[in-house]
Amino acid sequence: MFSYFSLTNFNGLGVISSFFFFLFCLLISMTDFQMVSSGFTADEMLEIESIKMYKKELLDDIQKLKMEIDNVMAGILSFESAEENQTLVRSRQFSNGKKKFNMEPKKGINYLVENKLLKRTANSIAEFLYKEEGLNKTAIGEFLGEREALSLQTLKAFVELHEFSDLNLVQALRQFLWSFRLPGEAQKIDRMMEAFATRYCDCNTHVFQSTDTCYILSFAIIMLNTSLHNPNVKEKTTLERFVCMNRGINNGQDLPNELLSKLYESIRNEPFKIPADDGNDLTHTFFNPDREGWLQKLGGRVKTWKRRWFILTDNCLYYFEFTTDKEPRGIIPLENLCVREVNFHRRPFCLELYNPNSQKIKACKTETDGRVVEGKHQSYTICTASAEERDAWIQAIRASITKDPFYDLVSVRKKKVINQAPQD
């Protein structure tokens, strides 16, 4: 009697199909037998009744088998659906984590770790920063530049993911500076370039006598790139000056002129490709400003006062027509500028941004037709609502104003090399 059937006896749908075909044929034969049952003896009729009972039991077993198959298939579909949903949820969480990282790197890393999408280890985070697409290069630089233990360990692991073997210094710098965007703070730059110099010397033990030499020359190359390819630099560095600048940096000895010439020509022929801020660039820039608020700005060509929403962040002063605007009407880089208190007729609480060298300020603004043009201001006059607000803005702007940090860093390292050089 066929009373119970387990799916584990089947090896595939082909077997199931064959079995159902067999049952179908058997039932057909029973039906045909019933149709010609007239004229049988009493014993034969009892046998026929027995066959009918068997047919009923067989139909019940078939129904049970069908229900078992349906339940198993439903379970399989449910499992696959749950797996797909879980994959979708994880994918969304990972995407959210990347967005959070681009906005605030530490919070993004914490989110990914808390959702078990990333391990809180230097190697795991470094690999994420090095390989994952869609990460803001400025955010990567910000995280790697921090002084916290995890960031310092991650910086080391991140640099070790770069392979610099058999590359000259310019080639290695091109690779390194493309993987993130250098931050503006001198101490962060110092730590990053120190890590780069150590890694380069580990990969190329025969090139320099010390990591200090690699460090100094790397900065010299970066400054050379600025000198040769920045249109605002009028006096371009010559090969002779570049060689002279780097005398005695190899533990008191000169580097080969052939090496310096090759590096110089490489930069002159092709500038560094510095990664643009990708991902949520503007959102990242204005997410956590140093200061923001409504101020009055005096026009340059037409001397009228206009109310603008100002945001101070990343060593720049941005101003918007409305707080809801996605892009600023103007950008004032604060590098090498000064700020002071000034008084205007009927406007006592003013401040002025100016260039101490009486040069035009390097700024830009968006015209009403959408064109971005270079600003023509030699100074910017801005009015606040009170003396307290004016003083707070002056203090915040002074804290934000920076000079090129490379020169101080290189100067300190050169003194160290000269002092450590063996004396005759």
pLDDT, mean of each 10-residue run, the chain (424 residues): 41 52 57 55 82 86 86 78 74 87 91 93 96 90 92 96 95 94 82 95 93 93 87 83 90 91 94 66 53 88 88 87 81 88 88 87 79 81 94 90 65 73 58
| Residues contacting residue 389 through CB under 8 Å, at least 6 positions apart | 293, 349
pTM for the full predicted model: 0.55
Which pLDDT score, from 0 to 100, does residue 148 have?
A: 92
| Other Cβ atoms within 10 Å of 124 Cβ, number | 16
Is residue 185 part of the annotated active site? The answer reads yes
Rounded distance between C-alpha atoms, residue 70 and residue 77, angstroms = 10
Q: List the catalytic residue out of 104, 132, 185, 292.
A: 185
Which pLDDT score, from 0 to 100, does residue 163 have?
A: 96
Which pLDDT score, from 0 to 100, does residue 70 have?
A: 82
Which of 261, 298, 78 has its CA nearest to residue 168? 261
Rounded distance between C-alpha atoms, residue 93 and residue 193, angstroms = 33
Rounded distance between C-alpha atoms, residue 137 and residue 160, angstroms = 18
Both tokens of residue 399? 């804290």
Phi and psi torsions of 313, nearest 5°: -165, 150
Which of 291, 343, 293, 279 has its CA nearest to residue 137? 279
Q: 199 to each of 128, 138, 211, 386, how far by Cα in Å?
A: 19, 22, 9, 53
248 Rama sector, left if φ>0, alpha if ψ -120 to 50, beta otherwise: left
